[in-house]
Amino acid sequence: MVERLPSTSTLRGFEAAARLKSFTAAANELHLTQGAISRQIRELEDMLGTELFLRGTRQIELTPAGVQYVTAIRPALRSLAVAGERVKTASERHILKISILPTLASMWLMPRLTEFSSQHKNIELRFKTSTEPARELRTEGAVALRVGRLPGHIGQSDGPRLTLRMIENWDGISADFLLRDRLVPIASRWLFDGRIPQNIEDILRYPLIHTGTRMTAWEDWLGVQGMIMPRPELVFSHMFMSISAAKDGLGIALVPDVLVDPRDRDLVALSSRRIDSDGNYYLLMHESNASHPAVLEFKAWLMAYARQTLTRLDDAVAA
């Protein structure tokens, strides 16, 4: 029994010499001298108590013991190499660039982002919020979360129009479905003084809050139900501002139900009046990032979170 194990460098030298049938070629491959390889082989033979090579004037050949030994150590060397690569990959710090709609970030993604960060400490998240078409998706580690229609998709013919463009150039871009864009009126529960509106006529007795990025939302939502929209009175540039205004009791806002925090007891959603727009929420990425480690980890986590959200929203509609 061998009382001590040879070093990994010695085993690598022996394996290279056995494969290449040359001490000189093994030395060149491993960036060592031919003398260093020869010394490693002699030390290994002394340790094992047997010759591993038959040394000729021009070439070397493995002895039967050498064949047996190299066959045994090759799987171990491969396992060590694979383990090293896994550790190296896990320890590398990756940068993930996320372009996302402002309100989707603050109302939906951020409340759960600690969960992702705690599970992936080697991924650095860099956020950029925008309602403009996603750009720079060809940058390494870049993804985008947008709402809109896919190319060639006509959407809901009778649903509220969605004019936001997700991206300008679709070449090489993939889009993974995340969430439906389903609009629901919301307001402070204190606005109604305990008498929550039960029909559209009751809703129209209150000021309607509009969002600049979706100026046709109320008009389309009411039109589906055969109603004419009154003249806009309150318009805010971003969805989070409209939600804040509704929470402050300024009126009723029409927003995607995914943006309504179920833990917020000050807001009430008129769930019986939810209507799908003609678009959906998608995760966008360029094909060059499809195998990026950080992108893969984020996509898997995000898709699972989106499925949980869809289940919660469907349960709310059914309730």
Structural domains present in the chain = 8-91 (1.10.10.10), 94-318 (3.40.190.290)
Q: Is the pLDDT of residue 2 over 60?
A: no
Show contacts of 54-59: CB within 8 Å, 24+ apart.
59/21, 59/22
183 touches 257 (CB < 8 A): yes
Rounded to whole angstroms, how far apart are CA atoms 7 and 232? 79
289 touches 140 (CB < 8 A): yes
Average pLDDT, the chain: 88
Mean pLDDT across the stretch 308-315?
89
When pLDDT is cut at 50, 70 and 90, the band that residue 313 belongs to is confident
Q: Give the pLDDT confidence of 91-104 residue by residue, as tens digits.
A: 678 999 999 999 99
Helix (H, G, I), strand (E, B) or coil at 211: strand
When pLDDT is cut at 50, 70 and 90, the band that residue 205 belongs to is confident
pTM: 0.70
Return the pLDDT at 41.
92
Return the pLDDT at 270.
80
Q: Give the pLDDT confidence of 292-310 residue by residue, as tens digits.
A: 999 999 999 999 999 999 9
Where are the alpha helices (H) located in the chain, listed in sequence order? 8-20, 23-30, 34-48, 64-91, 102-104, 110-119, 200-203, 217-224, 239-247, 293-318
144 touches 315 (CB < 8 A): no
When pLDDT is cut at 50, 70 and 90, the band that residue 130 belongs to is very high
Q: Is the pLDDT of residue 173 over 90?
A: yes
